[in-house]
Amino acid sequence: MFDEEKGRVTLYGWVQSVRDLGKIIFVSIRDIKGVYQVTVTKDTPASIVEKARGLRDESLVKVIGRKNNNEKVAGGYEIIPEELDVMTSAEQPVPLNLNKNVVSSLDKELDYRFLSLRRQNISAIFKIESTVTNSIGRFFEKEGFYSIHSSKIVSQATEGGANVFPVIYFDKTAYLAQSPQFYKQMMMAAGFEKVFEIGPVFRAEPHHTTRHLTEYTSVDIEMSFIKSYEEIMRVMEGMMVNIYSDVMKDNKPELKLLGITLKVPKTPFPQVSVREAQKILATYGKTSKEGEDLDPEGERIIGKHVEDTTGSQFFFLTRFPWEVAQFYHMRDDKDKSVTYRADLIFKGLEITTLAQREHRYDVLVSQAKDKGLDPEKFRFYLDFFRYGVPPHGGSGTGLERIVKQMLNLENVAEATLLPRTPDRLVP
Q: What is the pLDDT of residue 398?
A: 98
Per-residue pLDDT reduced to its tens digit, 156-208? 776 656 689 999 999 999 999 999 999 999 999 999 999 999 999 999 989 89
Q: What is the pLDDT of residue 5?
A: 77
Q: Residue 294, class by beta-carbon neighbours within 10 Å (0-12 exposed, 13-18 middle, 19+ buried)?
A: buried
Residue 290's pLDDT band (cuts 50, 70, 90): confident
Q: What is the pLDDT of residue 413?
A: 97
Assess whether pLDDT exceeds 90 at residue 7: no
Per-residue H/E/C for the chain: CEEEECCEEEEEEEEEEEEECCCCEEEEEEECCEEEEEEECCCCCHHHHHHHHCCCCCCEEEEEEEEEECCCCCCCEEEEEEEEEEEECCCCCCCCCCCCCCCCCHHHHHHCHHHHCCCHHHHHHHHHHHHHHHHHHHHHHHCCCEECCCCCEECCCCCCCCCCCEEEECCEEEEECCCCHHHHHHHHHCCCCEEEEEEEEECCCCCCCCCCCCEEEEEEEEEECCCCCHHHHHHHHHHHHHHHHHHHHHCHHHHHHHCCCCCCCCCCCCEEEHHHHHHHHHHCCCCCCCCCCCCHHHHHHHHHHHHHHHCCCEEEEECCEHHHCCCCECECCCCCCEECEEEEEECCEEEEEEEEECCCHHHHHHHHHHCCCCHHHHHHHHHHHHCCCCCEEEEEEEHHHHHHHHCCCCCHHHHCCCCCECCECCC
**Average pLDDT score, the chain:** 95
Q: What is the pLDDT of residue 292?
A: 86
Distance in angstroms (rounded) separating the CA atoms of residues 99 and 102 = 5
Please give the share of the chain, as a percent, with pLDDT higher than 70. Answer: 99
Q: What is the pLDDT of residue 260?
A: 98
Q: What is the pLDDT of residue 354?
A: 98
Q: What is the pLDDT of residue 35?
A: 94
Per-residue pLDDT reduced to its tens digit, 235-282? 999 999 999 999 999 999 999 999 999 999 999 999 999 999 999 999
**Threshold 0.85, pTM exceeds:** yes
Instruction: Decide if 339 contacts 329 (C-beta within 8 A).
Output: yes
Superfamily covering domain 120-415 = Bira Bifunctional Protein; Domain 2 (3.30.930.10)
Per-residue pLDDT reduced to its tens digit, 330-360? 999 999 999 999 999 999 999 999 999 999 9
Assess whether pLDDT exceeds 60 at residue 14: yes
Q: What is the mean pLDDT of residues 5-27?
A: 92
Residue 72's pLDDT band (cuts 50, 70, 90): confident
Distance in angstroms (rounded) separating the CA atoms of residues 354 and 318 = 9
Q: What is the mean pLDDT of residues 147-154?
A: 97
Where does the chain hold its CATH 3.30.930.10 domain(s)? 120-415
Per-residue pLDDT reduced to its tens digit, 353-408? 999 999 999 999 999 999 999 999 899 999 999 999 999 999 999 999 999 999 99
Assess whether pLDDT exceeds 80 at residue 6: no
Where does the chain hold its CATH 2.40.50.140 domain(s)? 2-88
Residue 1's pLDDT band (cuts 50, 70, 90): confident
Q: Please provide the CATH number assigned to the domain covering 2-88.
A: 2.40.50.140
Per-residue pLDDT reduced to its tens digit, 205-235? 898 999 999 999 999 999 999 999 999 999 9
Residue 46's pLDDT band (cuts 50, 70, 90): very high
